[in-house]
Every structure is written in structure tokens, then in C-alpha cells.
Amino acid sequence: MLSKAKIKWIHSLNLKKNRKELHLFVAEGHKLVTELLPLMSCRFLTATAEWLQKYPDIQAAEIAEASLQELNKASNQQHPQEVLAVFEIPDRKPDLNYLKNNLTLALDNIQDPGNLGTIVRTADWFGINTLLCSVGCADAYNPKSVQASMGSIARVAVHYVKLEEFIPTLNVPVFGTFLEGKNLYEFPHLPQAAIILMGNESNGISGKLKPLVNEKLYIPEFPPGSKRAESLNVSIATGIICAAFRRPKTNS
């Protein structure tokens, strides 16, 4: 049985300040929870009797059987899930030496948790292990962000830093997207030690970060110069740029 106190505790983790204070976040659904279980420390797991019977070997500090109705009360999802778990937010520090020698994504004030989670998932696909977020970004452990990241949140380290102070210490080239940038496909060489800086959904890269950008990129629309849509969604633009950076060299 899932107690009212537990439901209240789970709901409290919808708020960033509680997640931050308790270092905990919520993940829901079979696929996501089973992907996170071997990778993260699980503080609490609640599931239907059927689910628990199917997965008798799961590791969690505390396990509670619950009815679908109880799970529904605890859930953030529209459709009730058969399993919900509370995981510990890992305490990671940025590895400066790694960042100086690898491709990293930096996000400037990304507001939508869904975009942020989708970018975490995309970073994981393209072997980008670190996401540097400005302090104004949405929280990567927001339930919507966690769901969109599809388990990649366990593999991609997300750090909230003052980008304007942190980025210059890395001494790697910074690529940013601008409408007046240079065609992404005209760069003869996209380095594998660099920062890809993506700007806010409405306002792009903020004034204080613009001076840090060494190379201005532009994803060419089609036909060239048609300027129909004003822009691409930031997570789509991130995907296209990551794909271009990671494109095998033999074909470029």
C-alpha cells in the first residue's frame, strides 16, 4: 500500500526547491525506471503487485506495492504507470580535463523542461557526456525533463554553472547558432574538442555570452534564402548540429 505521506512526498518532488534540498527526483513508467535502476541509486520504488512479481530482483532502498489507483494519485502522468521510483540526484563535479578534450553542449537559459530532456537524450546518442546549463535553465530533474530524457539523464552529467565565467576557463572553441552565422556545412573542420552553445527558445544566445562565441553557425534552410519559418525548435537545431559534428569524416 502507498501511504498518503508517501504520495505527498512524491508530489513534493515536483518542486525544484524540494528536489534540490533532498537530492531526489521522480521517474515513472516501466521503460524509464528499468533503464535507470542499474545506473542510479533508488531510494523508493512503488509498483503494482504484477510488476513486482515480474521483477523480483530490483534493487531499491524501499519498495511498496500499490494499486493502479494509488499509483495514479502519486503520478504526474496522464495515464497511470505500473511503476514509479524516486532516485538520488548524483553529486557530480565537472571534470575540467575531460571538458578540455571533448565535445560539450552548453545551454543558455533553455526554459522548456521537455526541450532540456530531449537535448539530454540527444547528447547521449552523440556521445556528449556533459551538459553545461546556465543557472537560468529549466531543471534537468523536473519530471517532464526526466521523462523526455528517456534514461539518458543517468549517463549525461548536467552541471548548472555561470557559463560566462566557466566557459573561458576551458580554452576550447565555442560554436553558437546565429541567423547571421556561417553555413554549418561550409566549415572545413568541426573539432571534437569544443563547446556547442545553444540559446534560449525566444531570444537565442544572450548578450553576455555572445562575446565568448568563436564561430557563428547557421543551419541552412531550404531553398536557401527562402526565410519562411523564422527558426527551428532549439532541440531540433541541437540535434542537427550534434549530427554534423559527429558525422564520420570519411564522407564529409
- Site of interaction with its own copies (CB under 8 A): 35, 114, 118, 121-122, 124-127, 148, 150-152, 155, 183, 185-186, 219-224, 226, 228-233, 235-240, 243-244, 246-248, 251-252
What does the chain come to in residues?
Answer: 252
Nearer to its own copies, 22 or 219 (CB): 219
User: In the bound complex, what is the minimum distance in angstroms from residue 5's beta carbon to its own copies?
Assistant: 29
Nearer to its own copies, 46 or 152 (CB): 152
Nearer to its own copies, 69 or 222 (CB): 222
Beta bridge partners of 27: 85
Nearer to its own copies, 168 or 191 (CB): 191
User: In the bound complex, what is the minimum distance in angstroms from residue 126's beta carbon to its own copies?
Assistant: 5
User: In the bound complex, what is the minimum distance in angstroms from residue 239's beta carbon to its own copies?
Assistant: 4
User: In the bound complex, what is the minimum distance in angstroms from residue 125's beta carbon to its own copies?
Assistant: 4
3-state SS track over the chain? CCCHHHHHHHHHCCCHHHHHHHCEEEEECHHHHHHHCCCCCEEEEEECHHHHHHCCCCCCCCEEECCHHHHHHHCCCCCCCCEEEEEECCCCCCCHHHHHCCEEEEECCCCCHHHHHHHHHHHHHCCCCEEEEECCCCCCCCHHHHHHHCCHHHCCEEEEECHHHHHHHHCCCEEEEEEEEEEHHHCCCCCCCEEEEECECCCECCCCCHHHCCEEEECCCCCCCCCCCCCCCHHHHHHHHHHHHHCCHHHC
User: In the bound complex, what is the minimum distance in angstroms from residue 231's beta carbon to its own copies?
Assistant: 8
Nearer to its own copies, 97 or 251 (CB): 251
User: In the bound complex, what is the minimum distance in angstroms from residue 246's beta carbon to its own copies?
Assistant: 4
Nearer to its own copies, 114 or 136 (CB): 114
